[in-house]
Structure 1
């Protein structure tokens, strides 16, 4: 904005004076950043409630006389702009001043901070506290206003909104060409590719449900827009981010058109071939670390279900053995487990316009098969099942594994290719040391796929001996109590006596590796008690410092 524009704006704000969306302060050389943050929260929330796009916090005005008196607040330009980052760090969800304008009036320097309205349905807090305005005062956000914001309809589809000022010139030619090809492929039984190619661009885009009556929507810019046109969607970052973590670290941002850029992001992922079984096994199997269809399905789901009103980006983190996908907003319809069998059809979408456009371009389906297909494809590759981590309304995190967690699990899937997905899911939880329902335990034990005692289930002997390293199996299989009792008796007969520490050392490495240290300690204590009650050993020491000897040596 020019100086003339700023003067006009300032005059308009002063004429309206302090209301719920404007605050004036004289502000000296320093002004408490926490107070600015509280005003930021209050003004942003009030702008939301009054359906205006922005609010204003103005420094350099006497709040009694309404006169310009000037301010020395952060005269260094870089330090002034750093205020944006400070505010972003203290607000939740993270949001910042759109612009900080400086007007050098003849009466003094004036700072005008442009504060965006809180997203629909999401109040803005400063360091965990919500604020509002009551006349000219800053007050805590009342429950009535808090509920009003949170109950704002989420059915207003952000992706369906028309973008003022955007035109067909903002679309990427390569993305439009790919869109025609994908659409023609989806409807090959109705239209020939030549016919689709002959349609005028506006006709094609409307038929593909990307535009509305030839006008550009936010969905159109996300899927087909040029990177340089992303500013139309500000303050949304309009980004996919790939991040590499491990010995090497790297990252890259990808902007529109997402129809093309999701594939480019996939190509950044290190997708090597893996040998699941060791070289000395009879049936070594090589598979790619990641399945392209699984990765793109996960990434496209992030785009389709992202809560764009939260102004966040989709992040894909590549770790040495897995991929982590994160998108803003809670799981919108049901729970991920509802879709595992492929029978549930979602009744609603957070972004129905975008979801429909992506379905028309063959990026996703709208029948709820995606989650089922990802699990089924991972099972066919003998890899662990995907994991979902839901953070209420904040974010959805999906983990796709690119390595083996338990070799026995992968060997079992290779041996038994006809296992129902429900059993594969239960076995996956066993290998991850997670609880499984009792009915699943009974079923898997009856099929001799697992053994052990709750909660330390593991691959059964029949499977382990046929498909796994037997020495590894013996380390995890529990022996009979008499086996351990004989070790204790033999030790005492040879050395005459033993302390508890010596017996712990004797049995510690021989007990099942499925037991933790506490469970091993209790197991040894139970064995000693059992032998004492049988009259086979005695304690000649104290309860706190026992000294165990064979019973026959006592005279």
Structure 2
């Protein structure tokens, strides 16, 4: 934390007309119990007021807000034989990440206590939650309407709202973020002045106001529109998309291409998808007069699966980001974090995203399909191309989708045939229809004269419990997914 910012913060807080429910000024009152109660009360009140932090400042007159200086030394202060900060951490539930900072202001020594606003649960001191009302610090439970207001305003943890770059100048913001791409992708005219640019970026929470006429760039702003992700902390820079192409069917093969994404997801998305499509193998077909090259994988599927990997990753997993690996016979797209939806229900159930603001803005910019329709279109495109069914797999720390190059029915494994049958039944059900032997023949490229092959696949899917007969009294009516 820079001293210049702390000085600007002190001056901004002093400029308030009076103490608020989230700011308190003190001369030298350093009673530990008073500080503990204030931490609880100010943290809870800050959340009600929509503030990210609350503050206590020592060395400032609470009437005039003049700096009078203080000899309070939080590092030397003891409480019940313990260092004050350790004692406070043990007495506050949950243990919030407060911080004491000495500010050497030009007008005198100030001690600043920064207290994060309550998030998941009200902050309590010695098991009692307090609230700030005027200059009083009563128990939160004595004011049920404020307790209810606090519960309603507490938001779950959102990685997108955290700060990627603090106390940035306007010039820094314009250099660090590709703001022209933001206006182009959101289809807004580029304002002819800086204030208009900052107003729009702030409206979408890409930046938030800091003190001293500076700005904070949020994680959302950086991950979407960074000119260079490497300009930010390593933990964020590592979330750039990594692409590796191999000259064979496994990772032991020689690497033929490697690309580590440097731009934010939105700023670099079109370039990334174009780069992938240029590298993907193509099949040649003889048209009416000319040879025509068609991509081996549906472009829509690639685009949607890459966007899904960006949107649904767990941003809190450190040292990892989305990865795309291209082999001769498949493409694997991996993102950090286990899926929040069961793998066999990812087509029909609405998606659950850890990053709602990121997902919403990417959809607004047309980088992926409307909510809940993207994977439907991926699996539909796979059927149109008569590819083997995608493989969805997850472990404790990652989610992966594998898209396979074309293979005939004879070349597919038994598991792939059964998986294709299940997903075909799902797509039919979602369109208001039922899977039948004839439709599965078309899906798998089976000659209708060999319909018994499709019947064998259906029987295996029935035995695996993946599908069921739609109407037991009329077996010819078709099949639906097991959950339908």
* TM-score, length-scaled by structure 2: 0.49
Tell which structure's C-alpha radius of gyration is larger: 1
* TM-score, length-scaled by structure 1: 0.43
